[in-house]
Amino acid sequence: MKQISTIVNTILAILMILILFATGLPNFHAEASAPTPQPEQQGEDACNADRTVQVSGTAVVNVQPDRALIQLGVQSNGKTPKEVRALNAATVSEVIQDLQRLGIEARDIATDRYVIEPIYEDYDSLRIKGYRIHNVLSITMRDVNQTSDAIAAAFEAGANQVVNVEFYTSELRKYRDQAREMAMQAAFEKATALAQAAGAGTDCVMNISENSWSYFNGWNWWHGGGNQNLWAQNAVQNVPAAASEPASREGEPVSMGQISIQAEVSATYGLK
Domain covering 67-168: architecture: 2-Layer Sandwich (3.30)
Share of the chain above pLDDT 70, in %: 67
Mark 245-270 as b/e (b = at least 16 C-beta within 10 Å).
eeeeeeeeebebebbbbbbbbebbbb
pLDDT tens-digit series, residues 44-65: 556 777 889 999 999 989 999 9
| pLDDT digits 0-9 by tens, 201-240 | 888 899 999 876 433 333 343 333 334 343 344 555 666 6
Most confident option among 5-19, 176-190, 247-261: 176-190
CA distance 233 to 241: 22
CB 103 within 8 Å of CB 189: no
Residues 72, 159: contact at Cβ < 8 Å?
Answer: yes
CB distance 145 to 66 below 8 Å = no
What are the sequence ranges of the domains in the chain? 52-65+171-243+257-271, 67-168
Rounded to whole angstroms, the Cα distance separating 192 from 71 reads 48
Residue range 143-201, pLDDT digits in tens: 999 999 999 999 999 999 999 999 999 888 899 899 999 999 999 999 999 999 989 88
Band (pLDDT 50/70/90 cuts) for residue 122 is confident
Q: The sheet that has 235-238: what strands, in order across it? A: 202-210, 259-271, 52-63, 235-238
DSSP classification of residue 88: H
pTM equals 0.64
Looking at domain 52-65+171-243+257-271, its CATH architecture is 2-Layer Sandwich (3.30)
Query: Which distant-in-sequence residues (6+ apart) come within 8 Å of 221 by Cβ?
Result: 168, 259, 260, 261
